Amino acid sequence: MPVVSISFRAVLEAGGPSFMPTQIIGVPDAVWQALGGKATKRVIATFNGHPERLGLLPQEGGGRYLMLRKELCQRLQLAIGQEVDVSLTPDPDPDHVDLPAELAEALAAWPEAEASFQKQSGAARRAMARKVAAAKLAETRARYAVELAERLARGAHPFRVG
């Protein structure tokens, strides 16, 4: 089956869920329908030549959008109101998670944590990886990784202390 990739231009807008103001790009209906419609949940989005794995999120009342983290916009030098070249391809491995080295090491050292990590949803695994990767200091990344691994190993919720 050929890989479907569709390109379009869009404006980076302020938006997203009301509890979490962020930056979004609306995906034209014809684009997300051509990518597989509602069956396609994750895509590889390329912005001005830079690929990024993202969720193709549903909008209220229909339609789809991409939510871009502040860090991603800064890295790609994107600003609200800027027109962006976008190319979307269905993600061939929608459950893929890029693990920061600290989290990979903690999970490898603790088999119970690794097993629990693998049982989590893709979204939960991505959230854990982002939490560790977002820490600026290596010591903080290592501490977060160990804390997550410890909670996972005892079967606790990865983000709730206790």
What would the pLDDT profile of 86-139 be if each residue is shown by its tens digit?
999 999 888 888 899 999 999 999 999 999 999 998 888 888 998 998 889 999
What would the pLDDT profile of 21-74 be if each residue is shown by its tens digit?
689 999 999 998 988 888 888 999 999 889 999 999 988 888 899 999 888 898
- Set out the domains of the chain in order of their start, with CATH numbers: 6-90 (2.40.30.100), 101-153 (no CATH)
pTM of the model: 0.70
Whether the Cβ atoms of residue 68 and residue 12 lie closer than 8 Å to each other: yes
Distance of CA 133 to the CA centre of its chain: 12
